[in-house]
A and B are shown apart, each in its own frame.
Chain A
Amino acid sequence: MSITKKDVLHAADLARLELTAEEQDLYTEQLSRILNYVEKLSELDTTGIAPTTYTVPLKTVMRADESRPSLPHEEALSNAPDSDKDCFKVPRIIE
């Protein structure tokens, strides 16, 4: 399956990546090659094969419902590129 520039732009949009014109061409070419390569998976019949996401034994780990102290407020915001009014500050969201 080959990937078009339109597909690349759509993926970039979903992933919130702004690609330069050069990158758009490069990724269209490179992703096409990679996707052609992975196409070999279609050689295999996987009917009835359950997918593997987890390789460890299934055992649900659950935590007791106890609250513990959170991060000190200043520390919670200390890594923020911009903060104000005790909040993370971002460009205004237009609904």
Chain B
Amino acid sequence: MKYETVIGLEVHAQLLTESKLFCACSTKFGSGPNTQVCPVCLGLPGVLPVLNGKSVEFAVKMALAVNCSVNAKSVFARKNYFYPDLPKGYQISQYTEPLAERGYLDIDTNGGKRIGITRIHMEEDAGKLLHGEGPEDSGSSFVDLNRAGVPLIEIVSEPDMRSADEAQAYLKSLRDIIVYLEICSGNMEEGSFRCDANVSIRPVGAEKLGTKAELKNMNSFKFVKEAIEYEVERQIDVVESGGKVVQETRLFDSAKGITASMRSKEEAHDYRYFPDPDLLPLVVSDDLIEGQRKTLPELPEAKRTRFIKDYSIPAYDAGVLTASRDLANYYEEVVKATNEPKVSSNWVMGELLRLLKEDARDVRDCAVTPASIAGLIEMIKNGGISGKMAKEVFEAMYKTGKTPQEIVKSTGMAQISNEDELSRIIDDVITRNPDNFARYKAGRVQLFGFFVGETMKATKGQANPQVINKLLKEKLDK
């Protein structure tokens, strides 16, 4: 039998606010355990949550970017369960009335596809658990509550994806957007962008959805793809061998490349959601929504299309250049100064990204300004330096932050293109090599290269090869 895969994703994104969702503790990553906690996020008795306005703005921004309608009123609810990383014994989330609903995102696999977004809601993150090691601590776990209360949005998709590739494309696209909006770092390894996948299979043509497994613990795009692919094979095997897929949570083991059932001893989840009486419903005004709409930047998809069209660069270039908002802005500034989109793209995508990647640096921290790159491109164009020299100049620019002019000047790397000067040098070369000159004149035209080489030697390689060619031809062939 042929099977169809059905995938829906639940994505959690940590919002880049300065303070937590319901208290004023810092959200900074990597501080010592339990140094960013207060009575509110520790769940001490009697304290109350107060909503961070910025987190609402960020969540609305995301909702608009993926075409959701923002509910005028949404309700914070308590999700009740016991776990040591959950200080209040409940997580403040949104349940029956989320912040936003009914959006979509277009992905460009197989000629493009629209993935529905069911809802986006706001919630608080839990703390972190560290499990003890060694004979003394092996019986204990340790709770760090710095992360407890950090704002999250959860983006729930419709079960619209039909392959691991589609799921990956959707996830990448979602990450691009969220990073563009500057509301989340998008870092999957640090866990600030996390993805769970609901995966099921059904016979091709069937209407009814199969029983789904929820996959967790996939902290890279690669793992998402691997986990889904493994899980689909597993489910097909189960069904083909006469078994039934059971609804369960399965953890991806990246070392083994498999998913394994989380055999939790806990009873079936019964979260007892109810509206949080400590927080009034969240009323989002039209003013807030329209205000956020105005701040929406051009999104990756739109920018890519515009780059291809306006700059006539290949789709591949456009994709690379729009991977981050900073890089795209950088590139556009270079083009503005040079009016050479493809040459500019070659430099930004080639040398610049290569060096940045070697240093694991962001374009934001790059010493080379767009104006400097433009200057370099200009120098090549008017023969000031050769392409080969330009690469050396560029490395020096990257290391020192100096302009190409400064570098060329200080290293004497300028190219000699002056015809009078080169003419004198060539005359001198010919005078010093009367034998070869005579042989050339007698028909040994292969000796042309010899004269180019001698001229280059005489100028320490700085002569403009085009000019040399032109002048030599005139002088030798006259």
Contact = CB atoms under 8 A, between A and B. Distances in A.
Question: Would A and B touch once assembled, by the CB under 8 A criterion?
Answer: yes
Interface of A: 10, 13-14, 16, 53-54, 56, 58-68, 70-71, 73, 76-77, 79, 84-95
Nearest to A94: B265
Contacts of A65: 17-19, 52-55
Contact of B144 (A60, A62, A71, A87): A87
Interface string B65-91: 000000001000000101010000000
Given A59-B283, A87-B33, A14 B50 contact: no
B37 A91 contact: no
B19 A67 contact: yes
Task: Choose among A70, A84, A91 the residue with the greatest number of B CB atoms under 10 Å from its CB.
Answer: A70
Contacts of B365: none
A85 B130 CA distance: 10
A62 B141 CA distance: 35
A87 B131 CA distance: 11
Contact of A62 (B35, B56, B265): B56
Contacts of B137: 84
A14 B90 CA distance: 12
A70 B26 contact: yes
Contacts of A13: 267
Interface in B132-162: 132, 137-145
B34 A95 contact: no
Contacts of B272: 14
Contacts of B39: 71
Contacts of A86: 32-35, 144
A39 B272 CA distance: 20
Given A70-B38, A73-B32, A91 B82 contact: no
A91 B368 CA distance: 54
A92 B138 contact: yes
Contact of B280 (A61, A89, A93): A61
B84 A88 contact: yes
Q: Tell me if A's interface is mostly helix, strand, loop or mixed.
A: loop
Given A54-B277, A62-B51, A71 B37 contact: yes
A71 to B, nearest CB: 5
B178 interface: no
B84 to A, nearest CB: 5
23 contacts: A16-B82, A53-B275, A54-B281, A58-B281, A62-B52, A63-B19, A65-B53, A65-B55, A66-B19, A67-B18, A67-B26, A70-B38, A71-B39, A84-B137, A85-B33, A86-B32, A86-B33, A86-B144, A87-B142, A89-B140, A90-B140, A92-B138, A93-B131
Contact of A58 (B26, B27, B280): B280
Contacts of A76: 34-35, 37-38, 42
Interface string B235-268: 0000000000000000000000000001011010
A49 B177 CA distance: 41
A93 B129 contact: yes
Contacts of B51: 60-63
Contact of A90 (B34, B55, B143): B143
Contacts of B35: 70, 73, 76, 86
In the complex, the 9 A-B pairs of residues with the closest C-beta atoms, listed nearest first: A65-B54, A62-B53, A87-B142, A68-B24, A88-B143, A67-B26, A67-B19, A86-B33, A60-B283
A88 B38 contact: no
Contacts of B283: 58-60
Given A14-B270, A88-B84, A67 B38 contact: no
Nearest to B37: A76
A84 B140 contact: yes
B52 A63 contact: yes
B117 interface: no
Given A14-B270, A76-B34, 19 more contacts: A13-B267, A14-B80, A14-B272, A53-B275, A54-B281, A60-B281, A62-B50, A62-B53, A63-B19, A68-B25, A70-B25, A70-B35, A76-B37, A76-B38, A85-B142, A86-B144, A88-B145, A93-B129, A94-B265
B36 A64 contact: no
B433 to A, nearest CB: 76
The residue in B27, B84, B130, B272 that gathers the most chain A C-beta atoms within 10 A of its C-beta is B84
Nearest to A85: B142
For A13, A61, A76, the residue with the greatest tally of chain B CB atoms inside 10 Å of its CB is: A76
B18 A59 contact: no
B146 to A, nearest CB: 9
B282 interface: yes
